[in-house]
Structure 1
Amino acid sequence: MSIKNITVLGSGIMGHGIAQVSAMADYKVVLRDIEQKFLDKAMEKIRWSLQKLAEKNKITVEEVDIFYNNITPLVDLQTAIHEADLIIEAVPEDFNLKKKVYQELNSLAEKNIIFASNTSTLPITELSSLTDRPDKFIGVHFFNPPQLMKLVEVIPGTRTDAKVTQEVTNYINKINKRPVVCNKDVSGFIVNRVFIPLVHEALFSMERDHVSKEVIDSAVKFKLEFPMGIFELADYTGLDVIHKASYEMNLRDKSVLLPHPKIKEKYDNQNLGQKSGSGFYEYKGDNYERIDLTMEKASEYDPYSIIGVAANNASWLIENQVCSIEDLNVALRLGMGLKMDIFDIFKKIGPSHVIGKLLELESKYGSFYHPNQYLYSIK
């Protein structure tokens, strides 16, 4: 088993980004989409990105053409997968759409080809059951944009062959990314299991504690040392992404988050954040605008429940051997931009304060807030 030729299905932001980083590692890549106009747009973006890298002296001018020519855009699916060793599916996060794609692949793909899904939340075991090769099926969750983000979560399903996991991990290393293996196919994998519930918790905190979103975001940024506030990060990520991830995670595991109706409301109203011009905050123009978060505002609020929910889900991952503490820290640093390790933040804020807050919330709102036993061992 050796991966040399890669086919990426879907030429959107994720698909053409994955194609580009693979081509830059000298893989031969076919980028496939259902219409030529989508491929033309994707190839334009790839050339623009490569030229930007050359301008910054990250690659040479000669390499722009070499890497660009490593990618062949095709519409015909059978031709696109003819020489593939690995097919990476990067179509939109819709289970029924993915089901259709895999049904088509089953009838066309040679039995030795590895299937990988770039899903951020859909269970890998469930997706693999749509195929005729669950042993050769794996999750590869790239982060947006793939050209810049170093992290890739590698998620084997329950029937994934260990050799496939190793081969795909080797591929991730070769494209100069940092693989983190999610040992169990759990809801949200690693990063989203910690991040997505925080958006809902920040909304509940705002309501329960009668504070503004700017105060909460300031506290999260300056007291928890997050790269930006939770509402700010949600707008940056996209509330369509947050909503879909929340829905899929909650559908399969009721214990992972406490859904706040505001997320669906914003999604239904197409208030998707930065991309739509309005989310939790208002935006003007294409450039990302930072919100005015200050130390003064941060001093007005202690975000105990927010770090409590984050540490609780992180504890669950460790206790259930989904990943090691080292991999957890790497994933949250690279995937969420955390400046401190999650349990170090928990210690800095004060374990007794955080656990006390979780117990208080549990008595009022139920078992979602029950402190994980692992938290008591952190000194």
Structure 2
Amino acid sequence: MQLTNTTVLGTGVLGSQILFQTAYHGLPAIGFDISDEALHAASGRLDALVAEYASFFGDPAKAQAARESIQLTTDLAQAVKGADLVIEAVPENLEIKEQTYQKLAALAPQHTIFATNSSTLLPSDIAPFTGRPEKFLALHYANNIWKNNTGEVMGTASTSAEAYEAVVDFAERTGLVPIRVLKEQPGYVLNSLLVPFLESASHLLVNEVADAATIDTTWKLGTGAPYGPFEIYDIVGLNTAYHISSHGDETSKKFAELLKNEYIDHGKLGVATGEGFYKYN
């Protein structure tokens, strides 16, 4: 089974990157979202990715061709009618995902494999809504896919070996390094390492041990890492950080409150909006 025609549900920051990464490696890619406004925003993100890919890979013509090949639609039936693989990147809310998969299951061809990009929900939480648990699993992308090119593949007890291997093959053909997650794990491999690190930094900030810039500088000087934790928060997006922290311990909830009051309520969501803990051009 080789997966070629790809549909991405949800065209936010990561959904747009998944579309571009897929198209850049020569596969047909269609993006679906629920409104024209969402697609207008997605179009702007995709336009901006042309420069990112051209700079990183050194092939402006290929990057522009990838952008021009991507289709966007608000018609779910049209989006999935020829799909071999549907990658779901809708908000991290189980109710929204349930509604999405119930609609998807009724419209997608029987051969279509479904893959969730969920960072916080296990695929087994979602599988009952898909109507085809044997053809459902997780394919988790890291932000800035073109350079942070891991593709974490995680199935459930119901996922068929054929579907799993088909998604591993798809990951390889679209420029990813497949990470075979051998059993379900909240946070996969990457976020199981990353989230405790970011949480430790947020606790230092909330407990007034040091400010964000000092914490970042300490980490970068001490380890040689290119980014500090609060720079990573800005890259990931402060909305995502807020949702994760609001379900943590009391200190994490204080951090979530700080994010909301000092940043999110003022439209400072990180790199995507030009300002978060830092300002960006």
Counterpart among 268, 274, 280 of residue 270 in structure 2 = 274
Q: How far apart are residue 36 of structure 1 and its match?
A: 2.8
Residues 245 and 253, structure 2, Cα contact 8 Å, conserved in 1: no
- The aligned counterpart of 2:10 is 10
In the other structure, the counterpart of 2:196 is 197
Q: Do the aligned partners of 2:21 and 2:145 also contact (CA within 8 Å) in 1?
A: yes
Whether the 8 Å contact between 1:196 and 1:246 is mirrored in structure 2 is no
**Residue in 2 that maps onto 1:239:** 238
Query: Among residues 256, 261, 269, which one is paired with 1:264 in the alignment?
Result: 256
Partner of 1:315: none
- TM-score, structure 2 as length reference: 0.85
2:225 aligned partner, one-letter code: F
What is the aligned-residue RMSD (CA, Å)? 2.8
Return 268-277 or 129-138, whichever deviates more: 268-277
Distance in 1, Cα, partners of 2:191 & 2:59: 32
Read off the aligned partner of 2:20 and give its amino acid letter.
Q
Partner SS, residue 99 of structure 2: helix
- Separation in structure 2 between the aligned mates of residue 45 and residue 213 of structure 1, nearest angstrom: 28
Instruction: Report the secondary structure of 2:129's partner residue.
Output: coil
Deviation of the 1:116 alpha carbon: 0.6
Higher mean C-alpha deviation, range 129-138 or range 231-240: 231-240
The one-letter code matched in structure 2 to 1:112 is H
* CA 1:30–1:217: 2 relative to 1, 3 Å: closer
Question: Which residue in 2 is equivalent to 1:221?
Answer: 220
Max radius of gyration: which structure? 1
Q: How far 1:222 moved relative to its partner?
A: 2.0
Letter in 2 for 1:131: T
Question: What is the alpha-carbon distance in structure 2 between the residues aligned to residue 170 and residue 15 of structure 1?
Answer: 20
Q: Taking structure 1 as the reference length, what is the TM-score of the superposition?
A: 0.65
Distance 1:171 1:239 in 2: 30
Aligned pair count?
A: 276
Question: Which ranges of structure 1 fall in alignment gaps of 5 or more residues?
Answer: 251-256, 288-379
Distance in structure 1 (CA, Å) of the matches to 2:207 and 2:35? 49
Q: Which amino acid aligns with 1:260?
A: S
In the TM superposition, 1:130-145 aligns within 5 A as 130-145=129-144
For the 8 Å contact 1:19–1:31, the answer to whether it is kept is yes
Distance 1:8 1:201, change over 3 A: same
Question: Is residue 155–residue 182 contact of structure 1 (8 Å, CA) maintained in 2?
Answer: yes
SS of residue matched to 1:7: strand
Structure 1 counterpart of 2:148: 149
Alpha-carbon spacing, 1:29–1:203, altered in 2? closer, same or farther (3 Å): closer
CA contact (8 A) 2:143 2:235 kept: no
Name the CA distance, whole Å, in 1 between partners of 2:52 and 2:212. Answer: 36
The verdict on how the C-alpha distance between 1:17 and 1:215 changes in structure 2, with shifts beyond 3 A counting, is closer
